[in-house]
Amino acid sequence: MLELGYFLQQCLNGLSLGMLYGLIALGYTMVYGIVGMINFAHGEIFMISAFLAFLAFVGLQDAGVMSITLCVLGMFLFSMAITAVYGYALEAVAYKPLRSAPRLAPLITAIGMSILFQNFVQLTQGAQVKALPPLLTGTNVLGMFDHFAVTLSDTQIVLFISTVVTAVVLYAVIHKTPLGRAQRACAQDAKMASLLGISVNRVIAITFMMGAVGAAVAGVMVTLYYGVLDFYMGFLVGMKAFTAAVLGGIGSLEGALLGGVLLGLIETLWSAYFGADYKNVAAFGVLIFVLMVRPSGLLGRPTLEKV
């Protein structure tokens, strides 16, 4: 089992899974950075985006669109656009009225919205698991190691490219644009930012939409990569992605991606060598260990307590 080729292949698979986690973790980390709360319904936003991608795919097939590139592009556009609206609506309904409420109140609305989203999708789309034929079927052999061919599938290439593009765009928005400056200002001190003429409500709404777009990229990629979806998939994936965000240091974009990749690698390698039964135990075990050693995550800065 300890062959180089097998190991490299598992690393590639782990990297793919990790990028999915990282994409969703971006949403958690951005919202946490600005509002300082866990957006528990983010996993369901991801689930919704995967269903939207699925619907777009089926719709495009029905319409007779044969070009794979067009299909993938259509899925991305449809899912990202509508998921962004979902992110906006989630914030407006569940979080905006509770800005000044006790700390736990938005958490309850988030759980309420999660239940709502799950049952909404279950009611309208049916409870059975949806399966999709693979759209991108090509694989590329990267090299041979002791008669073990290490391959990289086309889906994985699309996943890598879309992750890098999403991360670069988000990074550029946050660090190079006036909007990003407003976001960073709100993250530091929302009250002061509003005194200086920044519309904090609007910045928060846009942040939720950006996070939702990240989740949508992951949702489309899950649809393409695994092709299996059900209305309950958001919970565990969302929890793992949040774990990734905490692992990398919550509030930091690079940390979210790093944490996601680490978590994906741990999970995949653990499954490959020790069996899939306890992969979640391994993932959460690493989280607990990292938090004990480095409470602010791998790339996070220690927070100062303000009185």
Partner 1 sequence: MRSFLPPRLLASPCAKILGWTLVAAVLFFPFFVLQAVDQNGVMSLAAFTYRPYLLAVFGVFLALCGVFFLPAPLRALGQSCPDFAVSDVQKKGLQVLLVVGLLILPLVSNRAELDLATVVLLSIALAWGMTIVVGYAGLLDLGYIAFYAVGAYAYALLSTGYGVSFWAALPLCALLPAVLAFLVGFPILRLRGDYFAIVTLGFAEIVRTLLINAQSITGGPNGVAEIPRPTLFGWGAADLDERMMMLYVLALAWAAVVYGLMRRLRVLPLGRAWEALREDEIAARSLGVNVHRMKLSAHVIGAMIAGICGAFFAAKQGFVSPESFTFLDTAFLLAMVVLGGMGSPWGVALAAILIVALPEVSRSFADYRMLFFGMVMVLVMIFRPGGFATARRPSVLYKPASGEQPS
Residue 168 CB, shortest distance to partner 1, in Å, is 22
Among 136, 215, 287, 299, binds partner 1 (CB under 8 A): 287
Interaction between residue 104 and partner 1 (CB under 8 A): yes
Interaction between residue 195 and partner 1 (CB under 8 A): no
State both tokens at 280.
């979640």
- 14 residue type, one letter: G
Among 130, 211, 219, 257, binds partner 1 (CB under 8 A): 130
Cα atoms in the 13 Å half-sphere on the side-chain side of 195: 4
Our CB check for partner 1 shows the closer of 217 and 241 to be: 241
Is the distance from CB of 207 to CB of 183 less than 8 angstroms? yes
Our CB check for partner 1 shows the closer of 130 and 225 to be: 130
Interaction between residue 166 and partner 1 (CB under 8 A): no
Specify the long-range contacts of residues 153-156, CB closer than 8 Å, at least 24 apart: 155/221, 155/224, 155/225, 156/12, 156/16, 156/225
Task: Report DSSP letters for 226-256, one per residue.
Answer: T-EE-TTHHHHHHHHHHHHHHHH-TT-HHHH
- d(Cα 139, Cα 7) in Å, to the nearest integer? 18
Is the distance from CB of 245 to CB of 256 less than 8 angstroms? yes
Interaction between residue 24 and partner 1 (CB under 8 A): no
- d(Cα 268, Cα 275) in Å, to the nearest integer? 9
Is the distance from CB of 72 to CB of 60 less than 8 angstroms? no
Interaction between residue 108 and partner 1 (CB under 8 A): yes
Size of the site for partner 1 (CB under 8 A): 70
Cα atoms in the 13 Å half-sphere on the side-chain side of 168: 6
Which residues ranging from 29 to 68 are in contact with partner 1 (CB under 8 A)?
A: 38, 51-52, 54-55, 58-59, 61-62
Our CB check for partner 1 shows the closer of 36 and 143 to be: 36
Contact residues toward partner 1 (CB under 8 A) are 38, 51-52, 54-55, 58-59, 61-62, 78, 82, 85-86, 88-89, 92-94, 97-98, 101-102, 104-109, 111-121, 123-126, 130, 132, 178-179, 182, 199, 202, 235, 239, 242-243, 246, 250, 277-278, 280-281, 284-285, 287-288, 291-292, 295, 303, 305, 307
